[in-house]
Amino acid sequence: MNYWPLAGIAIVVLGFALRFNPLLVVVSAALATGVLAGLDPVAVIEALGKAFNDNRYISVTWIILPVIGLLERYGLQQRARGLIEGMQGATMGRLLVAYLAFRQLASALGMKDIGGHAQAVRPLVAPMAEAAAVKTHGDLPEDARDEVKAMAAATDNVGLFFGEDIFFAIASILLIQGVFEAAGYPLTPLELSVWAIPTALAAFAIHSWRVLALDRRLGRAGQ
């Protein structure tokens, strides 16, 4: 048995330990593994290119993140705060309840990646919620600002978690179906999705109450 191809693992470990560029380390390890396994270098590069092309839809997520970082660098959060400050009647509670409804509805339609902490909460939702809280209740201490940001992140979590199960083609529904079928209860994904609606409505009501309660508590603390 030829153990030389396993040298790629050593390259990865050593490269990460020495804090080299991760992309360079991984590509070098892949090339070394292929060559040591007896493949032509050109064939190894072709295999890497084919794997990237076959899974390019996964890579799109990582391409979006640098774009969001550039937008933040050039004032995305400031623009979001300015937008809220210029809106009449905008409060932290109303904003987060509206985002919760949007997140649940989008997830229920299968668009679960339309929001998220990195894509939406950090650059947009959290700064807007913080600006709305300051506009309504005046300047807030740092711990209160952190609480508003945490509530924005929690709103995204609740909206996604309880909304996505309404979409019958989601992996979680298929997993639940498999568990029930193994236990002798054959159910279709659509039946499971329908029964996820009451839970989603209850989650919306409970979390909306939590958001509005936080808004009221910030108001009492600012008086």
**C-beta separation of 62 from 117 below 8 A:** no
Distance of CA 182 to the CA centre of its chain: 31
The answer on pLDDT for 200 being more than 70 is yes
What's the confidence (pLDDT) of residue 148? Answer: 94
In the block, tokens 């940001």 appear at 149
What's the confidence (pLDDT) of residue 190? Answer: 85
- Say what the alpha-carbon torsion angle 197, 202, 205, 206 is, to the nearest 10 degrees: -140
CA distance 141 to 129: 15
The 10s digit of each residue's pLDDT in 154-174 is 999 999 999 988 887 777 787
The 10s digit of each residue's pLDDT in 54-106 is 655 555 555 666 666 666 666 666 776 776 666 677 789 999 999 999 999 99
What six digits make up the tokens of 118?
């990195």
The 10s digit of each residue's pLDDT in 29-58 is 888 888 888 888 888 888 777 766 665 555
10 against 62, higher pLDDT: 10
Share of the chain above pLDDT 90, in %: 26
- In the chain, what are the domain boundaries? 4-54, 65-222
- CA distances for 188 relative to 30, 111, 123, 163, angstroms: 43, 21, 39, 18
Q: If you average pLDDT over residues 11-31, what whole number do you get?
A: 86
User: Following DSSP, what letter does each residue of 165-183 receive, concatenated?
Assistant: TTSTTSHHHHHHHHHHHHT
What's the confidence (pLDDT) of residue 62? Answer: 59
188 confidence band (pLDDT: 50, 70, 90): confident
